[in-house]
Structure 1
Amino acid sequence: MVKELKRRWQLGRVRSGDGSALGDYRLWQVFSRSLFFLDLAEPSGSNHTYAVDVRYLVDAKTKKQHESASGKSPAALYRDGVQLYRANLPATFPVPGGVIEVATSAFGLKRMHFVSADGGERTLRPHRRSQEGLRARFGQRFPRTSAVVGVVAVAILLVVLSVALLKGIEGVTRIPVVAEHLGTFTSPIRLPGWANITMVVAGVLSAVERALRLRYHWLLDSVAS
């Protein structure tokens, strides 16, 4: 019920596109743009290619200025290269047979899925030169190495989460009222400054790696932010 209400709210925020053409993906946009594609058949039987273009440098806080002056939004939906809709993130775009859901985290995309009317989901395919496309090609070429990288990323985030939880508990028990009733807790993990910095950097890189594969867990991937 909550998911359905959220979807309806996001659909209500979608604006009509300006009919502009989808721009080519450039090498220098690798860190500022994501581009995904989906092939769908219309009820009439004709096939169309839909594209979702995400621009990370378009600030949603200035959405009114962007949308009224230049028609730019953080996310836009194209059909056969022509802009149909645009919206701020998170966004849900209507397409034949379902919707496309788009959402980001602090480290990149966390959702780029086509959700059919019957509830089935599938991930859109990334542009081959985008960050996500390069990561997907690496996984296809070196599947075992890719799997190891994924496991290491999860392990690092679990370590970061564990250390953060211990520090959090220690901080809470130092509150006088809590300490009076429950006593104090001292984290058994004490890291030097360089180790803390290394752990933070490793956590961020791990979260980015997972975002490139559209892997996201609300607790695991948010701990590095």
Structure 2
Amino acid sequence: MFNDFRRRRAARRVKAGDGHALQRYRWWQPLSRALLHLPLRDDDGTEHRWSVDVRLWGDDNGDVIGQLYRDDVNVNRSTLPATFDVPGGVIEVAASGFGMRRCHFVGVGGVERQLVPDPASAEGRRARLEQNRPGLSRAIGIVSVLVLLVALALGIPQTVEQITRIPPVAEHLGTFVSPIHLAGWANITLAVAALIASSERALRLRYHWLLDGGLFDGDD
């Protein structure tokens, strides 16, 4: 959940939508687009479908934009992270360098509910695997975490050594010699495995600041 400061700051970025229609999710968009939905009732009891559409590769300026739709009609847009007002609460939306990290409805009482991924999206297919093959889904999730933990354990000492070799750093702090030195191909393999693991976690909207690179995301 966003803290109050982040929520107020995100709310100031929200702009009115232009009323365009929500585009259907296409088969070639799993890496570049996330689409999630949530039915909510107005005060009069009328139910509407609210949708959040995020183009993960950003616009022409590199900004990742979240678009909010009501019954497939665009009502709001904002750079991410975003907080959209909806009946009964807000929808909080945030992305990382690997995909979606948060897309949740937060009610007035603080109760959270994740939006449902569109069935055609990569997130939707991953959710379907979790529903149809829960054992396999859990195993994949565990492997993803283990890969990231191994990447941290092997990568951090080598990174610290490289940093302490910088002359100003070495002069003030001394140098650190890593007990671990992997071959170049092994480091590349480890980086690719970590990228895949974080991307898999993003499909489930799972995120941890240390495991999934939050140190470099530049949270607003």
TM-score between both structures, scaled by the size of structure 2: 0.89
Is 2:26 the partner of 1:20? Answer: no
TM-score normalised to structure 1 length? 0.87
The aligned amino acid for 1:6 is: R
Q: Any residues of structure 2 matched to 1:1-225 within 5 Å, and which?
A: 3-59=3-59, 61=61, 74-171=65-162, 173-174=164-165, 175-179=170-174, 184-222=175-213
Cα RMSD (Å): 2.0
Contact 1:55 1:74 in 2 (8 A): yes
Q: CA deviation at 1:173?
A: 4.9
Give me the whole-angstrom Cα distance separating, in 2, the residues matched to 1:224 and 1:176. 25
CA–CA distance in 1 between the matches of 2:57 and 2:136? 32
Deviation at 1:172, TM superposition (A): 5.1
Give the C-alpha shift of residue 185 in structure 1. 3.6
Superposed CA offset, 1:128-166 (max 9, x none): 110100111111111111111111110110111112221
Assess, with a 3 A threshold, how the Cα gap between structure 1 residues 164 and 224 changes in structure 2: closer, same or farther: farther
- Alignment-mate amino acid for residue 12 of structure 2: G
Alpha carbons of structure 1 residues 118 and 128: separation in structure 2 relative to 1, 3 Å: same
Which structure would you say has the larger Rg?
1
CA change 1:136–1:62 in 2 (3 A) is: closer
**Counterpart of 1:178 in structure 2: which amino acid?**
L
Structure 1, unmatched stretches of 5+, are 64-72
Whether contact under 8 Å (1:40, 1:48) holds in the other structure is: yes
Distance change >3 Å, CA 223–CA 47, structure 1 → 2: closer
Residue identity over aligned pairs, in percent, reads 49
AA aligned opposite 1:162: A
How far apart are the structure 2 equivalents of 1:7 and 1:224?
A: 20
Q: 1: distance between equivalents of 2:43 and 2:183? A: 62
Structure in which a larger fraction of residues adopt helix: 1
1:173 and 1:132 mapped to 2: Cα distance?
Answer: 40
Deviations 1:74-104 (A, max 9, x none): 2111111111111111111100111001110
Structure 2: which 5+ residue stretches go unaligned?
none
Q: CA deviation at 1:171?
A: 3.8
Rounded Cα–Cα distance in structure 2 between residues aligned with 1:185 and 1:85: 50
The change in CA–CA distance for 1:41 and 1:60 in structure 2 (over 3 A counts) is farther
Q: Distance in 2 between matches of 1:147 and 1:130?
A: 20
